[in-house]
Amino acid sequence: EPTQPTNFIRTIVEEDLKSGKHKSIVTRFPPEPNGYLHIGHAKSICLNFGLARDFGGRCHLRFDDTNPAKEDVEYAESIKESVRWLGFDWGEHLYYASDYFEQLYQWAEQLIRQGDAYVEDLSADEIRAYRGTLTEPGKESPYRNRTIEENLDLFRRMRAGEFADGAKVLRAKIDMAAPNLNLRDPVMYRILHADHPHTGDKWCIYPMYDYAHGQSDSIEGITHSICTLEFADHRPLYEWFLDRLGIYHPRQYEFARLNLTYTVMSKRKLLQLVQDGDMSGWDDPRMPTLVGLRQRGYTPESIRSFCEQIGVGKSDSWIDMSILEDSVRNDLNVQAPRAMAVLRPLKVVIDNYPEELVEEFDAANHPNDPTMGSRKVPFSKVVYIEQDDFLEEPPKGFFRLTPGREVRLRYAYIVKCESVVKDAHGKVVEVHCSYEPASKGGSAPDGRKIKGTIHWVSAAHAVNAEIRLYDRLFTVANPDKGGQDFKSFLNADSLEVLTDACLERSLAEATAESRYQFERQGYFCIDAKASAAGKPVFIRTVTLRDSWAR
């Protein structure tokens, strides 16, 4: 049963199944292994794998590896891992476009024999100049009317390695006056004496995307070939190749790509941020990559629900980053156990609390979900609270700790500030309080109202930790806009490191995939790479509320 809201592509699939046009559907996700997957790819993955899941079809993972220059095995491995992490499974159906090179070559010879392709000697610049413009028809190449025999001979010699890179290309012979520029004799093959991660040195000619893609879809029996809008103009070419070859003809459908504010998604720009050292790697918690979001503490569920929520449309639009942040916030609100962590500690001494006494208070792991159980939180004479939960001269409406007034220490007691200790600069470094023994658990025996409740950590039991507060990568919604270098909009405050945080004892047990709500602070996960024994490092996934809303 479909679990996703409907969209125009789902409607098409439903109709194709109902009319019997297809008995079952086959989709594919076709990344080029030249970078890490990002949140935009997640939209395509959720769409393609989601259709297969919901309609009992299958979805292929196909590496569109036709350009050896920029591709790498490292990328392919990471892509597989990210698709699995998102919760999808291609089963037996892992394919490489490069596995079709021989078949694609044979089909190219067929097109030559049909008079539908020719070997071109013009340079790339000349081809561009001959191509014309939207308002001006192109000019035919002097090599356009070579005989079939000559074309076959030259193409075979291209494959055999007789010519240098760029010396010749194979072009489809379509129409140099076509209004759609993609149909003005597009290049099908180029010469590239380069090793390929998958086929080694077997080939020195490589097919272009437009020639390889549709035929790969055809070979795999794809029923619905779903791509982003910028390929709509390529669809007539997609169809032309399939029609001329007379092979099984999948249908191409286009949807709007994801554009997300406060980030960039072009692989070139992401690579630049990594290479320039602005980011610690592709998995830096600020990156919009799936490895980055994972490192940041995003759950696969939150990304899937984000993709469902934004829907699939036919015109380009922008999605606000707060929608993505809300999706992880909502997910973690339900599944993350609560804990107390003091990020910027201020020492509080409870003068009338017995020196050696340690009490343990029951703390619910989740306010609305009793099945998540509870834990014991130790309490003793010295505790830490947040620096900003104390103010010597509070403004009106400040209900936290302040001289002469009371506050509730969550789960424990009501305490009253009696005095403070200052350093040489007048900064408060220690707060002295008294506690009311009869307020155990947090309520006053005489029923008086205590407005403020703050979190705390027992000094004697605290786990010392480093906290990395991550924020948005850019300070403006669209760093790509305008003539300015996108890097000039990098958020200089996208990472703040706190080295003296004090966490409640139970957080010593945090493991790589565990996530928490630090009460009143936000959602946090452990940074498994940076943590050391006895000194965990936590990453803030997202704040409790949207601090960017205006």
Binding site for ligand ATP (CB under 6 A): 30-32, 40-41, 43-44, 64, 227-228, 257-258, 265-267
43 annotated as ligand-binding: yes
Q: How far is the CB of 31 from ligand ATP (least distance, A)?
A: 4
Quick one: which of 139, 171, 141, 140 has its CA closest to 154? 171
386 contact, one of ligand ATP, Mg ion, none, CB 5-8 Å limit per kind: none
Complex with ligand ATP: residue 71 or 120, whichever CB lies closer = 71
- Residues facing 539 on adjacent strands: 468, 525
Q: Among residues 107, 67, 30, which one has the least CA distance to residue 205?
A: 67
Q: How far is CA 228 from the centre of its chain?
A: 17
The catalytic residue among 70, 139, 251, 257 is: 257
**522 binding partner (options Mg ion, ligand ATP, none; Cβ < 5 to 8 Å by kind):** none
Contacts of 375 (CB under 8 A, 6+ apart): 362, 363, 365, 506
| Closer of 44 and 216 to ligand ATP (Cβ) | 44
Residues 430 and 382: their CA atoms lie apart, in Å, by: 10
Shortest CB 253 distance to Mg ion, Å:
16
Q: Which is nearer to Mg ion, 32 or 65 (CB)?
A: 32
Closer to Mg ion by CB, 32 or 254: give it. Answer: 32
Q: Is 62 a catalytic residue?
A: no
Q: Whole-number minimum distance, CB 457 to ligand ATP, in Å?
A: 42
- The residue among 76 and 433 lying less far from ligand ATP, judged by its C-beta, is 76
Q: Please give the single-letter amino acid code of residue 433.
A: C
Find out whether 209 is annotated in a ligand binding site: yes
* C-alpha span between 328 and 296 (Å, rounded): 10
- Is 131 labeled as catalytic in the residue annotation? no
DSSP-derived letter for residue 387 is: G
Count of C-beta atoms within a 10 Å radius of residue 369:
12
Whether residue 133 is annotated as binding a ligand: the answer is no
- Is residue 257 annotated as part of the catalytic site, yes or no? yes
- Which three-class secondary structure state does DSSP give residue 61? strand
Catalytic residue, from 267, 400, 408, 410: name it.
Answer: 267
- Measured from the CB atom, the residue of 102 and 316 that comes closer to ligand ATP is 316
**Contact partner, 30, from ligand ATP, Mg ion, none, Cβ < 5-8 Å per class:** ligand ATP
Chain centroid offset of residue 481 CA: 21
- The first and second tokens of residue 134, run together, are 């939207």
* Shortest Cβ 241–ligand ATP spacing (Å): 18
Out of ligand ATP, Mg ion, none, what residue 40 binds, judged by CB under 5 to 8 A for its kind, is ligand ATP
- Cβ contact 195:68 at 8 Å: yes
CB of 12 to ligand ATP, least distance (A): 17
What does 44 interact with, of ligand ATP, Mg ion, none (CB < 5 to 8 A by kind)? ligand ATP
Report the nearest approach of ligand ATP to the CB of residue 146 (Å): 33
Residue 39 marked as a ligand binder? yes
The answer to whether the CB of 428 falls within 8 A of the CB of 394 is: no
Counting every residue, how long is the chain? Answer: 550
Residue position matching structure tokens 């990594």: 274
Rounded to whole angstroms, the Cα distance separating 223 from 122 reads 37
| 6 is annotated as contributing to ligand binding | no
Structure tokens at 57: 């079809």
Amino acid, single-letter form, for residue 338? R
State which of positions 22-41 bind Mg ion (CB under 5 A). Answer: 32
Q: Report the alpha-carbon distance of residue 225 to residue 380 in Å, rounded.
A: 64
| Non-local CB neighbours of 481 within 8 Å, separated by 6+ positions | none
The residue nearest ligand ATP at its CB is 40
**Pick the catalytic residue: 28, 32, 296, 338?**
32
Task: Please choose, from the candidates 164, 196, 195, 258, the residue with its C-alpha nearest in 3D space to the C-alpha of residue 63.
Answer: 196
Which of ligand ATP, Mg ion, none binds 228 (CB below 5-8 Å, type-dependent)? ligand ATP
**Binding-site residues for ATP:** 32-34, 38-44, 228, 257-258, 265-267
Active site residues: 32, 257, 267
Residue numbers at the binding site for Mg ion (CB under 5 A): 32
**Binding-site residues:** 32-34, 38-44, 64, 209, 228, 257-258, 265-267
